[in-house]
C-alpha cells in the first residue's frame, strides 16, 4: 500500500509561554516492512535549533528547541510511505519459539524491558493462563488467539487525550481506546513469557472516516523478530498499518512530548489527520503484468 499522510497538530495558549525542548516521534519508520519515500516537517514558530537522533528503540526522533515566548505551536508533518508486508506469516520460527514461556537465551538482556510487568491483576493473569492453554503453549498461536479474544471482550471507543488505562481497568470496563487494548495485549503477553512492546502509528480506513493516531502491540518471536498485532481491529499487522515509534511502554512511543512554562495559562490542542491509501505503484504494475499475461494465454 502507498500512504499519503498529512498530520497537523496545533497547541494554542491563552498567554505567551516559553516552550521547553520537545521530542517528536512523527517520522515513519523506514525498514524492511515499510519504506519512507518522503517526509517533510514544518514547525511554527521557527525553532532556535532542531536535532535529529535515534533513541534506544531505534525510533527516528526530532528534538526542536525554541527561544522567546509564543502563544501557539504548530506542527505539520507530511509523509509518503509504502508498506510492503503482504504476508505477515512469511517467516521461519527458531526452535526457541516453540513453547511459552520463551527461553530467549542470548536475547534476554536486550528484551528484559519488554518482559517486565507490574503487579498482575487476577483477571489479567487468568486471561494469560486461559489463552496459553487454548494455544497449547505455542507462542504464535497464543498471540493470534489473544488478539481475537481482546477484540471480542473489549469494544473500541475513541478517547483523544489521557494516558492508557491499566489492563485491569480495560478488562473490567469491557471497552477501551486502541492504546488501552494495546497495553492490555502487551501485558498479557508478558505474563505468559512473550516479549511485547507498544507501537504508535496510522492505520488505513475508509476515506470518509475521521482519522486519529492509532496504536497496536508487537511481540518478539525468535526467528521472526518483532511482529504486530492490532487487538482493536482483531488484525495481524501487515500492509495496512504505518508504524511511527515503538517502546516498552506507551509513553516511550508517544508521538509528541513537550512542556511549556507559564503562569495561569490554558492550553488547547487541535489535530487534523488526513490519510489516503492506495495500492503501491509496484503492486499495481505487477497486477497489470499478471492480467496481461493471462489475456495472452
Tell me how far apart the alpha carbons of residues 223 and 227 are, in angstroms, rounded to a whole number. Answer: 11
The pLDDT tens digits for 115-132 are 998 778 999 999 999 999
The pLDDT tens digits for 197-246 are 999 999 997 665 678 899 999 999 999 999 999 999 999 999 999 999 99
Cut 0.85: pTM above it: yes
* Residue 297 scores a pLDDT above 50: no
Domains and CATH numbers, the chain: 2-84+260-285 (2.60.40.2250), 95-237 (3.10.620.30)
* Residue 292 scores a pLDDT above 60: no
Q: Is 218 helix (H, G, I), strand (E, B) or coil?
A: strand
Q: How confident is the model at residue 158 (pLDDT cuts 50, 70, 90)?
A: confident
C-alpha cell, 201: 502509528
The pLDDT tens digits for 61-99 are 999 999 999 999 999 999 999 999 999 999 999 999 999
Q: Which residue has the cell 505468559?
A: 192
C-alpha cell, 42: 514544518
Within a 10 A sphere around the Cβ of 240, how many other Cβ atoms? 17
Q: Which residue has the cell 507559564?
A: 262
Q: How confident is the model at residue 288 (pLDDT cuts 50, 70, 90)?
A: very low
Report the relative pairing of strands 155-156 and 175-176 from DSSP bridges.
Answer: parallel
| Helices (H), ranges, the chain | 108-111, 122-134, 139-153, 167-173, 178-192, 281-296
CA-nearest of 258, 233, 235, 237 to 246 is 237
Amino acid at each position: 500500500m502507498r500512504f499519503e499522510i498529512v498530520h497537523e497538530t496545533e497547541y494554542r495558549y491563552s498567554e505567551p509561554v516559553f516552550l521547553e525542548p520537545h521530542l517528536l516521534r512523527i517520522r515513519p519508520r523506514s525498514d524492511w516492512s515499510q519504506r519512507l519515500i518522503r517526509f517533510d516537517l514544518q514547525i511554527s514558530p521557527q525553532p532556535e535549533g532542531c536535532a535529529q537522533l535515534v533513541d534506544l528503540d531505534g525510533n527516528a526522533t526530532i528534538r526542536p528547541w525554541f527561544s522567546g515566548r509564543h502563544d501557539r505551536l504548530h506542527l505539520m508533518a507530511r509523509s509518503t510511505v509504502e508498506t510492503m508486508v503482504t504476508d505477515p506469516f512469511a517467516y521461519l520460527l527458531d526452535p526457541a519459539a516453540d513453547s511459552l514461556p520463551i527461553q530467549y537465551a542470548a536475547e534476554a538482556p536486550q528484551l528484559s524491558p519488554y518482559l517486565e510487568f507490574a503487579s498482575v491483576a487476577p483477571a489479567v493473569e487468568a486471561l494469560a493462563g486461559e489463552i496459553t492453554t487454548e494455544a497449547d503453549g505455542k507462542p504464535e498461536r497464543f498471540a493470534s488467539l489473544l488478539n481475537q479474544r481482546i477484540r471480542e471482550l473489549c469494544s473500541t471507543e475513541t478517547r483523544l487525550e489521557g494516558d492508557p488505562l491499566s489492563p485491569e481497568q480495560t478488562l473490567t470496563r469491557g471497552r477501551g481506546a486502541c492504546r488501552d487494548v494495546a497495553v492490555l495485549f502487551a501485558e498479557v503477553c508478558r505474563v505468559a513469557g512473550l516479549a511485547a512492546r507498544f507501537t504508535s502509528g496510522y492505520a488505513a480506513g475508509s476515506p470518509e472516516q475521521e482519522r486519529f493516531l492509532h496504536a497496536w502491540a508487537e511481540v518478539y518471536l525468535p526467528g521472526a523478530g518483532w511482529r504486530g498485532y492490532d487487538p482493536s481491529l482483531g488484525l495481524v499487522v501487515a500492509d495496512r498499518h504505518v508504524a511511527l515509534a515503538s517502546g516498552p511502554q506507551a509513553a516511550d512511543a508517544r508521538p509528541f512530548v513537550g512542556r511549556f512554562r507559564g503562569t495561569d495559562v490554558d492550553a488547547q490542542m487541535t489535530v487534523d489527520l488526513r490519510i489516503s491509501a492506495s495500492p503501491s505503484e509496484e503492486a499495481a504494475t505487477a497486477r497489470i503484468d499478471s492480467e496481461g499475461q493471462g489475456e495472452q494465454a
